[in-house]
Structure 1
Amino acid sequence: MRAVGNTGSPEPAALYLYRDWLPVSGEEARDLPINCQHVSFFPEIPKHEAVAELFCC
């Protein structure tokens, strides 16, 4: 999942994955953590353009 905006905390995106997307996806959560990779960072770009990608394993 790609999160755009203030990516200082990936918690809102992770909650969306677990609370909203996962139950309707037909997939099951595994016993692995979510990985977060920051693609672009503030202050190199404005906070509202920062990008992070979350990966569920």
Structure 2
Amino acid sequence: MEFIGIMTILIIILFLVNGFMYRKRRNYKIREMEEREQPGYRQNSHARGTFK
């Protein structure tokens, strides 16, 4: 019983770390591309995706 609990906790932590790293890397790529296309876009970062 305890072994199953430990395994589930480990799997959840692994998923969280994986998702966080993936989201961070993707956001960095998107920001880099947007800056290259439109210089003044960082001010409108809260409205991301509306000018596509």
Provide the TM-score with structure 2 as the length reference.
0.32
Relative to its length, the structure with more strand (as a share) is 1
Higher RCO (C-alpha 8 Å, min separation 6): 1
